[in-house]
């Protein structure tokens, strides 16, 4: 009988508990598909007495999770603690240094320390696997490293945070404000008590950082990523976007320009309603890939939750049990390049611009003069209603223009005496 593949689990939160549940419910199926049995040898978490809804009595309990990283009975450590520093980082470093495979769902850890950890894994001849770190149940890491290996990747676009996508969908469907929908999302468990990590784009940014590395063979560089969340999006922006034939999505963008520099952005964007990403609603995630041979491909599914994320962890366990080894970021770590990142202000796009200005003669002429002086051309203008002397919304769509010029225009428009609110500027991606 083949030797069992033995794992230790550090962290028994939602994903760790889901992993135990899958192993218990599908043990025979997993053993058959892996070609060898795999066993949970030990587990560790902060609270031993907590009822997690699964039977842990068959597994050795370890109070200090660090012990898993040096346990001779364990072939792979599954790190599900989270966080970019502290215990999670220590466990992963120690396990790799001791010649143990590591499986993690920790996107923050890899976004900040991915190159170091990938280098260590390869020096020790072991794998660092992280299918569960990006887009939950969508097998995007395997797709990027293996399925698209024949392609020069041109661009990757992603809806990578289910909480934000849920909030934006609910705002559009119900007409409620960001604050009201966020409170509802927290009540339903879609958003944390402190939602900043999600709604400010940090969680999705970590994931995009890893996808950019895989797509372009560059070192993960979270500090080079420009991030803007969804707090400033208002119901009226969503309504105007809908009227114009768009959806607003928190969109990750990683693409190589003609000059070889890589654009890496995480921000709300307008995408066409009928586009592949425009149709992705609710808590679902999606990744849209452009390659020179595959042309375009869309992968979509639930991006979080116990079952989808635990399923992704098991996929990594299966690969390691089958002795499938691939470089962490698709190429050997020492071949990863330091990316030449595009300057955000120099990127060009079409833009949505919503103003709140006093309804009086000469206002549109003042705004138009600012845009003219910055070489910004308008493709359409929309104003709803007349209310002389009172604030009214004005929506403009631009032709392709420089981001820095659009930001400069917003500053100048905000300084006009007729302007009563900061302009809302949103990039348009015509996917």
Give the DSSP letter of residue 337.
B
Q: Which three-class secondary structure state does DSSP give residue 226?
A: strand
DSSP for 355-374, please give it.
Answer: EEEE--TTHHHHHHHHHHHT
Q: Report d(CA 190, CA 311) in Å as an integer.
A: 19
Catalytic residue among 107, 142, 207, 412: 207
* Ramachandran angles phi, psi of 98, nearest 5°: -90, 10
Say whether 207 is catalytic. Answer: yes
Q: H-type helices in 231-305, by residue range?
A: 235-243
Residue 123, C-beta contacts closer than 8 angstroms, at least 6 positions apart: none
Contact criterion met (CB below 8 Å) for 241 and 249: no
Find residue 158's DSSP bridge partners.
252, 287
CB 104 within 8 A of CB 110: yes
Quote the CA–CA distance of 271 and 429 in Å, as a whole number: 5
Cβ-count burial of 338 within 10 angstroms (0-12 exposed, 13-18 middle, 19+ buried)?
A: exposed
Helix axes 162-174, 235-243, angle to 10 degrees: 80
Cβ-in-10-Å burial (0-12, 13-18, 19+) of 424 comes to: buried
Beta pairing partners, 126: none
Tell me which residues are annotated as active site: 207
């Amino acid at each position: 009988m083949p030797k069992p593949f033995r794992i230790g689990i550090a962290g028994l939160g939602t994903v760790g508990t889901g992993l135990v549940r899958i192993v218990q419910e599908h043990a025979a199926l997993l053993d058959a598909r892996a070609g060898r049995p795999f066993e949970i040898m030990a587990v560790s978490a902060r609270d031993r007495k907590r009822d997690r809804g699964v039977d842990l009595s068959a597994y050795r309990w370890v109070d200090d999770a660090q012990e898993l990283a040096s346990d001779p009975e364990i072939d792979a450590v599954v790190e599900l603690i989270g966080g970019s520093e502290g215990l999670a980082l220590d466990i992963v470093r120690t396990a790799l240094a001791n010649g143990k495979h590591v499986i993690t769902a920790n996107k923050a850890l890899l976004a900040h320390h991915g190159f170091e950890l990938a280098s260590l894994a390869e020096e020790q001849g072991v794998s660092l696997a992280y299918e569960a770190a990006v887009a939950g149940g969508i097998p995007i890491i395997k797709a990027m490293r293996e399925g698209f290996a024949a392609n020069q990747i041109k661009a990757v676009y992603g809806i990578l945070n289910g909480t934000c996508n849920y909030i934006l969908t609910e705002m559009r469907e119900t007409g409620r404000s960001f604050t009201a929908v966020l409170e509802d999302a927290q009540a339903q468990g879609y958003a944390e008590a402190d939602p900043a990590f999600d709604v400010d784009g940090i969680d999705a940014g970590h994931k995009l950082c890893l996808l950019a590395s895989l797509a372009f063979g560059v070192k993960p560089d979270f500090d080079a990523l420009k991030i803007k969340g969804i707090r400033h999006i208002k119901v009226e922006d969503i309504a105007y976007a809908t009227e114009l034939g768009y959806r607003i999505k928190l969109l990750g963008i990683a693409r190589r320009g003609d000059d070889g520099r890589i654009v890496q952005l995480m921000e709300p964007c307008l995408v066409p309603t009928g586009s592949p990403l425009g149709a992705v609603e609710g808590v679902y995630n999606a990744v849209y890939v452009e390659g020179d041979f595959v042309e375009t491909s869309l992968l979509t599914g639930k991006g979080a939750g116990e079952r989808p994320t635990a399923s992704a962890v098991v996929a990594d366990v299966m690969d390691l049990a089958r002795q499938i080894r691939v470089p962490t970021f698709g190429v050997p770590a020492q071949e990863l390049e330091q990316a030449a990142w595009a300057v955000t202000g120099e990127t060009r796009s079409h833009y949505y611009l919503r103003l709140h200005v006093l309804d009086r003669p000469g206002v549109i002429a003042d705004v138009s003069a600012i845009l003219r002086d910055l070489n910004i051309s308008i493709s359409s203008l929309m104003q709803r209603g007349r209310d002389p002397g009172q604030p009214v919304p004005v929506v403009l769509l631009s032709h392709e223009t420089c981001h820095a010029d659009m930001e400069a225009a917003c500053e100048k428009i905000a300084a006009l005496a007729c302007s009563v609110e900061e302009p809302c500027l949103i990039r348009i991606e015509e996917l």
